[in-house]
Amino acid sequence: MSASPGGEDLVWYVAYGSNLHAARLACYLRGGRPDGSAHTHPGCRDRRPARRTVAAALAGTLYFAGRSAAWGGGSAFYDPTAHGEVPCRAYLVTVGQFSDIAAQEMRRSPGADLDLTRVLADGRAALGPGRYETLLHVGALDGHPLLTFTAPHGLAGAALDAPSTSYLRTLAAGLAESHAWGPWRTAGYLATRPGAAGHWTPAAVAALLGRAAPLG
């Protein structure tokens, strides 16, 4: 890791699910309850916004699994070994902010910096058996490591579950913000992810985004 001019160690937090949406991530940074969610987050010790935000993409697959107590339906997870490409959004934050974001995703209380030695050396570190308790080092940008977290199992071992309407709307808002995707491209992507496929169709996702199916 390299330090900022102010002497702080910075990392890129790579979001691929609901945190694609900046307003949703702000609830992890500042505290609060995202629209459509049943959970209120305590926020980070350092409540400043991310230093920078950039669009990114990772090799692998996004899938929906488990049952989210906050959103209902499946949560988004990332499998780097599966075929495909996942649109992401990278936020440049301090190690402390990344640690507190990760703690809130893990349903832990924020307040302690993670030891990133192992994930930076090995590319992967398991902090526990639960959802989002596996850290991944997925590259570097401008001298700072790109880090994310996901489930300990991959797609093959997942209990797939379809995402809720509020969760899909949040992901769609994030894709529009970060990648300038239109509703039909977004709908085609989200409806065909494992867990959503077979339950959602592109037309149904587009409809919940307020877009009617094209004629003809």
The phi and psi torsions of 128 (rounded to 5 degrees) equal 175, 180
**Per-domain residue ranges of the chain:** 10-156
Mean pLDDT of the chain: 93
pLDDT above 70 for 4: no
The phi and psi torsions of 130 (rounded to 5 degrees) equal -85, 180
With bands split at pLDDT 50, 70 and 90, how would you rate the model's confidence at 215? Answer: very low
With bands split at pLDDT 50, 70 and 90, how would you rate the model's confidence at 3? Answer: low
The letter for the amino acid at 177 is: E
| Percent of the chain residues topping a pLDDT of 70 | 94
pLDDT above 50 for 20: yes
What is the phi-psi region of residue 111: left when phi exceeds 0, alpha when psi lies from -120 to 50, beta otherwise? left
Q: How high is the pLDDT of residue 34? A: 80
Q: How high is the pLDDT of residue 40? A: 84
Q: pLDDT tens for residues 66-115?
A: 999 889 999 999 999 999 999 999 999 999 999 999 999 988 999 999 99
Q: Tell me yes or no: is domain 10-156 CATH 3.30.200.
A: no
pLDDT above 70 for 155: yes
pTM, rounded to two decimals: 0.93
With bands split at pLDDT 50, 70 and 90, how would you rate the model's confidence at 212? Answer: low
pLDDT above 80 for 7: no
Mean pLDDT, range 160-180, rounded to an integer? 97
Distance, in Å, from the CA atom of 167 to the CA atom of 136, rounded to the nearest integer, reads 23
Mean pLDDT, range 165-180, rounded to an integer? 97
Q: How high is the pLDDT of residue 113? A: 97
